[in-house]
Structure 1
Amino acid sequence: MLGGQVLAEWQAGLDDLFALVASRFYRVEPRRLAFAYIRGLLAPLERRNGWTIAEHAGRRSPNAVQEMLYSPCWKPDLVRDDVRDYLVKHLGSADGVLIADDTGFVKKGVRSAGVQRQYSGTAGKVENCQIGTFLAYATPKGRALIDRELYLPKSWTDDQQRCERAAVPDDVGFVTKPQQARTMIERAVAAQVPFAWFTADEAFGQNPGLRDWLHEQDIAYVMATRNDDEVPAGLHTDRPVKDMIADIRAGAWQRLSCGDGPPRPPGLRLGLDADPGPVRP
């Protein structure tokens, strides 16, 4: 009986949540398919793909669900904004943190937008995959994704016919992942998402353009970079990170673990020594 009550409450909560974005779907059929798609993503399926989600929705093939995803009958960016506003309402905090990161989605074919052989952190190696750049929001109340951008390599943006076949808009050009991070931070700032600082790994931290922009916007940040990377150290002065660290007195650092990560190859050195934990003054 308790299980049935919990299920009913969960269903009611999902109904209320989807009602926040239902108006972004301009026809009944894609609206119903979108709701079925979300239920499939949340269902305890052994594997989640187009076929299994379609079958869970009572469809014989994934065609209708896939067509719904790129249908002009709804506005994905408006749904993104609705979801972000909902999350900020429940998780928002002035000491929140914005986090940029990219992740790979392994694919078999060559037709999905942005797919090619490229490094995927998810797989830990070069794979045939798509890459998405994401912006997460973390506060003492919880954490969630609030924005996303699909990374399109130059092999795609330089091939107009290939982009047309994958329904990529004509005005979409090549954009680096740090540039995508900047765009998403700009959207968060424009939406008045409360946060204290921004963080990202070395794929973003090694980009001087992103660092300079964050500095110009007076956005505090902590990003990983190489120990030989030169960063601003004063008026018109750049210095390697390792030299700046060497100037800090012994014992002024606190070593913190960023969590369990994938196994590293033998002999790989991070920072100034082989200890995997990041440090901060």
Structure 2
Amino acid sequence: MTRPYRSVLYIPASNARAMEKARTLPADAIIFDLEDAVAPSEKFLARDLLAQALLENYGGRARIVRINGMDTDWGVNDARQFGQIADAVLIPKVNRSADLDRVADLVPEAPLWAMMETAEGMLNAAEIAAHPRLSGMVMGTNDLARELNARFRPDRLPMMAGLGLCLLAARSQGLVIIDGVYTAFKDDDGLRIECEQGRDMGFDGKSLIHPAQLATANEVFGPSGAELELALRQIAAFDEANAQGKGVAVVDGRIVENLHVVTARKTIALAEAIANLAS
């Protein structure tokens, strides 16, 4: 992962003002949405507005365009137009690896991302993640819940099988993977709980529907001061142990092996990437 993805904010591509404002928001990435957030009558206008918006400077924020599906009247032209100027093309409702092939043919260079939001997609997550052009996955938990006929629970128990399958698939291929949205954007406590759950499961960040959610996602998915301090001490202790011919160290009463040092270095690298994004 070459950049942080703590906060990934959806912005309707039909809303020029929102796209302009997004240039100043502390989001690590923006999903410019041509699909669900845009009414059929606004599809062509949204495409034109987005083309103009992407001429502007969004700093270090990743610019991801969610195109319409290939089974619609707009998907093919969406892919052709934005495959050359977006940082990634996000494909909705990916069910199998073959769904990526058609877009890959239209977009020869841009990284592809997959919306994981169907029961079939969950069952084929490993096959999808192994596609040679795929760089990231985004969980579409609302659509998945609808397919499953699942009810909302604060612990997201009905989602755990799908979330876990996609995490395993993404990690097996070294992909970025982003947790689904929390739709109650005024419920800060609920958002924090869900962010903490996603972080602890292993997600890189949270997809968001409102700028008010950015601060919480950035805080939860970013390394804390205590985590950074521990990472530095683990590395120092392990290096000292190695210099003494030992294969392990002890920090705060816990064994530190090479695998812990790898994690510690990732923590420091993430903090550095966040600092670079903010500068």
TM-score w.r.t. length of structure 1: 0.29
Highest Rg: 1 or 2? Answer: 1
More helix by share: 2
Q: Which has the higher contact order (CA 8 A, sep 6+)?
A: 2
More strand by share: 1
